[in-house]
Structure 1
């Protein structure tokens, strides 16, 4: 469908797939976010074109039946802020000088670059590629709320308690944390460096 010229979607005079195919992947993902489409972070360009055209068709014909607004952003793996950095009165210098990453498809501008994101899938992929699991520090919980969040790189310690990604991200979002990290060190080797930073200076 995405390889044919023109608009193949019936009853949608304003939806041109030719125009959509002329967009970059990032622009298409932004269109998809505006349409409230889930699961677009893993889509290829042709799939994004089809998905966005289909969503716009639903709006043009009034047949989407979804009620108001887009779906919960958590459904697309981006988190409530769409992967964007959270700022506040106490935003750190390290965060200000970090490259913002809002999609698993974005790459560092250079080796050793400081990166920052709130995108759930980006964080999960980064951790799992290093064999790390979501965890919290034992003895820091507040009732049924997790305490200090960490990632366990299979360290031999009894201070960490493994938790589910759902629990970890729920706490991460409730505290408005940012994930500041590196993909590679300056020498090109894989880096395990990360910090959890709050623009409100809450204990991470």
Structure 2
């Protein structure tokens, strides 16, 4: 009898065309100005904290145990419509939804980039 893992027990599938970041240590990373992808909590937290971003949700988008749409609240990007949450709560939802964090480290001019998106690889995001 073959055994099958339940989908929620498998790690998210990562788009292999984007480099996967597995450590917050920049010395271990080699990347150019392409998008990067990770599920590593410390990489995400460090990226956000370097940009003064805070974990947040969009109010009134949750239901049941679902806390709502996840965001990182970057200064100057209209935080009036978000509710800040703790990292533990944010990462619990991130993991439960099996999301990946796609981001850029730098703009073409070398300055830090604020670009990111949260993707659910199993849902066929563009």
Please report the TM-score for the alignment, with normalisation by the length of structure 1.
0.51
Does the C-alpha gap of structure 1 residues 194 and 108 become closer, same or farther in structure 2, counting only changes over 3 Å? farther
Contact 2:12 2:122 in 1 (8 A): no
TM-superposed deviation, 1:188: 1.2
Matched with 2:103 is: 181
Q: How many residues align?
A: 114
TM-superposed deviation, 1:202: 8.6
Runs of 4+ off more than 4 Å: none
Superposed CA deviations along residues 122-178 of structure 1, whole A, max 9, x for unmatched, are 000000000000000111011342111000012333211100000000000000000
Give 2:70's match in structure 1, choosing from 132, 149, 158: 149
Where structure 1 has 5 or more consecutive residues not aligned to the other structure, the ranges are: 1-79
1:171 counterpart = 2:97: no
Q: Secondary structure at the match of 1:195?
A: strand
CA distance in 2, matches of 1:178, 1:184: 19
CA distance in 1, matches of 2:124, 2:82: 20
Matched with 1:97 is: 17
Superposed CA deviations along residues 98-132 of structure 1, whole A, max 9, x for unmatched, are 1111111232422x121000000000000000000
Contact 1:97 1:114 in 2 (8 A): no
Q: Which has the higher helix share?
A: 1
Superposed CA deviations along residues 66-114 of structure 1, whole A, max 9, x for unmatched, are xxxxxxxxxxxxxx98xxx721xxx6xxx3321111111232422x121
Contact 1:184 1:190 in 2 (8 A): yes
Give 1:109's match in structure 2, choosing from 22, 31, 41: 31
Please report the TM-score for the alignment, with normalisation by the length of structure 2.
0.80
Where structure 2 has 5 or more consecutive residues not aligned to the other structure, the ranges are: 1-8
Contact 1:183 1:191 in 2 (8 A): yes
* Higher-Rg member (1/2): 1
Higher relative contact order by CA 8 Å / sep ≥ 6: 1 or 2? 2
Q: Which has the higher strand share?
A: 2
